[in-house]
Amino acid sequence: MLPSNIANYASFFLLIISIILLIVGSKAQLNSTFYDNTCPNASSIVRGVIQQALQSDVRIGASLIRLHFHDCFVNGCDGSILLDNSANIQSEKDGAPNTNSTRGFNVVDNIKTALENSCPGIVSCADILALAAEASVSLQGGPSWTVLLGRRDSLTANQTGANSSIPTPFESLTNITAKFTAVGLNTNDLVALSGAHTFGRAQCRLFSSRLYNFSGTGNPDPTLNSSYLTTLQQICPQSGSGFNVANLDPTTPDTFDNNYFTNLQNNRGLLQSDQELFSTSGAPTISIVNTFSSNQTAFFQSFAQSMINMGNISPLTGSNGEIRSDCKKVNGS
């Protein structure tokens, strides 16, 4: 009996090792040195184009990080958000969270052109979004991090997924948490990544219900600071088009810092989904908001790690997908 038991244990042990290697391998498919030999200047090229874009559009950093976020939450970080409509593709750009809202596609195209001129056919559009997110944050005062690379580009888009998987400004904290959990991100990731709203703008239509008719009550959201409410009502009149914009961070609107979290403590979160992090009774997010508000270093460290975590959502690697030559369309189309 002993030899067969030993054989069984040995087989079981080898199975466990194989599973561990498979898990580790899937995590290790992305790495920071992926382009070191094939396009060593990739990161600096991306950074240079964004620096130039910031000269005429101070919002562009926030817009670019949002593209990466909205890309990763739909079928993983595969550049699918960049694809235009075609005979075979319903563009994610026309999904409810993106239409008339996402921007910066021209800068992505400029980055792609610069990379193709330097090292044609090498750097994926999905990796451009990851590199652009890091450059955008660090150029506007935020942390730097080592971007893991090696993603490939999707051959299709998922507009239905864009409509259902991307967190929206109108959802409860419970729903938003569930959407983060669905892609393997936890509560700390949720709060840290929400801190990207420390810069950029939002259209009135995304929060005007808080100003006039919150949850059908006919009254403003009671969690809104009264003087902040007055300011926002001036920016967003009730009869307005809904496309005026307000600063996501009213204190330092174009700097990446931790003031977003202090704003939440003072009931000055712009979006419902922002303020809920602090104003939802008993929520586990409250203590994290307090930590990040009092300790910018802790926020920066968590944000960098959460960006890496988000960038690891279901990438296409190896021979899956392709390296698009034009981020807006599949090769050969």
**44 is known to lie in a ligand binding site:** no
CA atoms within 13 A on the CB side of 100: 10
**92 is known to lie in a ligand binding site:** yes
CA distance 31 to 20: 18
**36 is known to lie in a ligand binding site:** no
**198 is known to lie in a ligand binding site:** yes
CB 180 within 8 A of CB 190: yes
Containing 201, the helix (H) or strand (E) segment is strand 201-203
How many other C-beta atoms lie within 10 A of the C-beta of residue 177? Answer: 20
Residue with tokens 């075979």: 88
**285 is known to lie in a ligand binding site:** no
CA atoms within 13 A on the CB side of 262: 11
CA distance 157 to 324: 14
> Is 70 known to be catalytic?
yes
Query: Collapsing DSSP states into helix, strand and coil, what is residue 246?
Result: strand
**80 is known to lie in a ligand binding site:** yes
**134 is known to lie in a ligand binding site:** no
**78 is known to lie in a ligand binding site:** yes
**237 is known to lie in a ligand binding site:** no
CA distance 139 to 54: 9
**276 is known to lie in a ligand binding site:** no
Tokens found for residue 52: 């130039």
Tokens found for residue 61: 């950093």
**In 3D, which of 303, 88, 73, 298 has the Cα closest to residue 168?**
73
CB 193 within 8 A of CB 69: yes
CA 240 from chain centre, in angstroms, equals 29
Residue with tokens 């300011």: 231
Containing 245, the helix (H) or strand (E) segment is strand 245-247
CB 63 within 8 A of CB 74: no
Active-site residue (options: 70, 93, 201, 210): 70
Which amino acids are annotated as binding site, given as ranges? 71, 74, 76, 78, 80, 92, 167, 197-198, 249, 252, 257
List the catalytic residues. 70
Which amino acids are annotated as binding site for substrate, given as ranges? 167
Which amino acids are annotated as binding site for heme b, given as ranges? 197
Which amino acids are annotated as binding site for Ca(2+), given as ranges? 71, 74, 76, 78, 80, 92, 198, 249, 252, 257
